[in-house]
């Protein structure tokens, strides 16, 4: 395994898009998770004097930067803490799962939330016991596990006053906005060497599966990025091929290093270290009553799922993820008489062009009760779902990488996945493959793991002995790519 030469010039990771994201949404997913975890991992490997984050501040029209050490890993991994750092006047609170049964009654939701906020300040622990929380736990859960009132304000510097010619700027996020392009052009003109990580070319390759003007905006950005990017990087060999073809069409030939992403779980070491059993679990012998220990504090919707075997499909519920055909595969198997099928659980936010799937579910009573949808689960809830599922299904029509497949493997679970795009790079020989455009192929792959436990167990044994990529691997490969 080749080790990179540690950098001697400063590295600036632009987080302009990440900052826009956390102003609106209280949890990382997809690319945001990649950006946050990768920068935190890099902070363990290189001198703190060399690692910076930069961002374009639209209110002032200036490109600013901070040493990463001024933010710290704990704050950087928490969207709510980051929101408090960059938008103190606009700080909002996270969704409280314990009050989900009031989701359709906002008056009652805010009444009970405010009442419990007051009780948490007063330290009235007994009111939180049924949620497996203390009063302090409740308060922390409102702010992503961190007391945002104690986050220190930092004074950013102008990028132009810190960066020197030869320093490197790495763009890990989606940087499609016009103001971002202009900022990167200026950064290149000042002598920075700019690297752009491309996650996928889906808006160009599958334009009918994206929303509105996305394909044209993406094309405009990718074309413009040629002007400021010194070297492109790709997150998979599939993306590398797609990007190389795009550049070749424009008369550009360059080596595109591949920085494969992870096959690892959702919860970071910091998150696991910070996790506490909660008061309901405090007196339970986990060895004697493991199921009781595991389920206390879990909401009723998730508790109900583990009464029966289920297959888990994680990700934004949109056309490209192919949930409609996956549900049709369940319907086909039921019609063939396989009534002892496991349930199918979709876990993710509702996204683009998902109407065919929800029309199918609405018209069949959630496929006669075989299908459940968990809207926008938290990382802790996804962790619970992964641990208890039979296996994972991801028959996507196209992926740039496929984080849920890697997450499944990290939990020792195999998956049914597409035999196209980047997914074979993630699944390797540890999963069952299908043709994502064939309902029958998806159904056969599902049945192979459901009806033949020996096949599933064989794959699980292989997973247990396989080397799965972690964030340290990704950080090493990134440093090699920009060496």
- The pLDDT of residue 90: 47
- The pLDDT of residue 61: 92
337 φψ region: left (φ > 0), alpha (ψ -120 to 50), beta (else): left
pLDDT of 275 higher than 70: no
Tokens of 472: 């340290």
- The pLDDT of residue 277: 61
Token pair 């360059």 is found at: 254
Intrachain domains 11-90+152-262+474-481 and 288-467 with the same fold: yes
pLDDT: is 475 or 97 the higher one? 475
For the domain covering 11-90+152-262+474-481, report its CATH number: 3.40.50
Tokens of 365: 């009573």
CA distance 114 to 111: 5
Instruction: Give the start-to-end residue ranges of the domains of the chain.
Output: 11-90+152-262+474-481, 97-142, 288-467
Rounded to 5 degrees, φ, ψ at 277 are: -60, -35
Structural contact between residues 372 and 345, judged by C-beta atoms closer than 8 angstroms: yes
- The pLDDT of residue 412: 97
- Across the range 25-50, mean pLDDT stands at 91
What residues have CB less than 8 Å from 189, skipping those under 6 apart? none
* H-type alpha helices, 336-396: 355-363, 365-368, 379-388
- The pLDDT of residue 100: 65
403-431 burial by CB neighbour count: b if 16+ within 10 A, else e? bbbbbbbbbebbbbbbbbbbbbbbbeebb
pLDDT-derived band of residue 91, with 50, 70 and 90 as boundaries?
very low
CA distance 394 to 183: 37
- The pLDDT of residue 475: 96
- Across the range 4-24, mean pLDDT stands at 89
The total of other beta-carbon atoms located within 10 Å of residue 173's CB is 22
CATH class of the 288-467 domain in this structure: alpha beta
Rounded to 5 degrees, φ, ψ at 170 are: -115, 125
What residues have CB less than 8 Å from 208, skipping those under 6 apart? none
pLDDT-derived band of residue 206, with 50, 70 and 90 as boundaries?
very high
Question: Half-sphere exposure of 231 toward its Cβ, with a 13 Å CA cutoff?
Answer: 17
CA distance 410 to 474: 15
Tokens of 86: 């960059």
pTM here is: 0.86
Rounded to 5 degrees, φ, ψ at 267 are: -90, 125
For residue range 331-360, what is the model confidence (pLDDT) as tens digits? 999 999 999 999 999 999 898 889 999 999
């Amino acid at each position: 395994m080749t080790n990179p030469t540690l950098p001697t010039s400063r590295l600036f990771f632009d987080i302009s898009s990440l900052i826009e994201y956390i102003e609106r949404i209280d949890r990382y997913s997809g690319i945001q998770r990649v950006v946050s975890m990768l920068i935190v991992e890099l902070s363990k490997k290189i001198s703190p004097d060399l690692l910076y984050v930069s961002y374009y501040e639209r209110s002032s029209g200036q490109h600013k930067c901070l040493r990463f050490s001024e933010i710290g890993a704990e704050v950087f991994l928490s969207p709510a803490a980051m929101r408090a750092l960059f938008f103190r006047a606009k700080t909002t609170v996270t969704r409280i799962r314990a009050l989900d049964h009031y989701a359709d009654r906002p008056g009652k939701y805010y009444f009970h939330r405010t009442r419990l906020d007051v009780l948490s300040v007063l330290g009235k622990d007994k009111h939180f016991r049924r949620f497996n929380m203390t009063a302090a736990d409740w308060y922390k859960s409102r702010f992503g596990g961190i007391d945002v009132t104690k986050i220190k304000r930092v004074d950013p510097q102008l990028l132009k006053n810190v960066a020197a010619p030869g320093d490197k700027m790495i763009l890990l996020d989606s940087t499609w906005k016009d103001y971002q392009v202009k900022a990167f052009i200026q950064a290149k003109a000042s002598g920075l060497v700019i690297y752009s990580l491309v996650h996928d070319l889906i808006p160009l390759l599958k334009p009918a599966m994206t929303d509105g003007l996305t394909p044209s905006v993406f094309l405009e950005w990718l074309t413009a990025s040629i002007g400021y990017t010194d070297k492109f990087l790709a997150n998979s060999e599939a993306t590398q091929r797609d990007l190389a073809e795009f550049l070749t069409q424009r008369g550009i030939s360059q080596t595109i290093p591949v920085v494969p992403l992870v096959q690892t779980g959702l919860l970071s070491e910091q998150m696991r270290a910070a996790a506490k059993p909660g008061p309901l679990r405090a007196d339970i012998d986990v060895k004697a009553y493991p199921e009781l220990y595991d389920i206390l504090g879990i909401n009723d919707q998730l508790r109900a799922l583990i009464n029966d075997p289920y297959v888990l499909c994680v990700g934004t519920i949109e056309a490209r993820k192919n949930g409609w055909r996956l549900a049709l595969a369940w319907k086909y198997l039921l019609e063939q008489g396989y009534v002892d099928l496991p349930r199918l659980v979709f876990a993710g936010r509702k996204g683009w062009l998902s109407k065919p799937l929800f029309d199918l579910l609405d018209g069949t009573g959630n496929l006669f009760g075989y299908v459940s949808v968990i809207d926008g689960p938290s990382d802790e809830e996804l962790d619970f779902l992964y641990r208890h599922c039979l296996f994972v299904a991801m028959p996507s029509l196209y992926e740039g990488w496929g984080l849920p497949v890697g997450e499944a493997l990290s939990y020792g679970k195999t998956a049914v996945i597409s035999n196209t795009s980047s997914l074979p790079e993630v699944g390797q020989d540890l999963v069952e493959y299908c043709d994502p455009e064939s309902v029958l192929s998806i159904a056969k792959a599902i049945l192979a793991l459901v009806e033949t436990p020996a096949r599933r167990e064989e794959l699980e044994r292989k997973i247990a002995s396989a080397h799965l990529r972690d964030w340290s691997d990704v950080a090493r490969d990134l440093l090699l790519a920009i060496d």
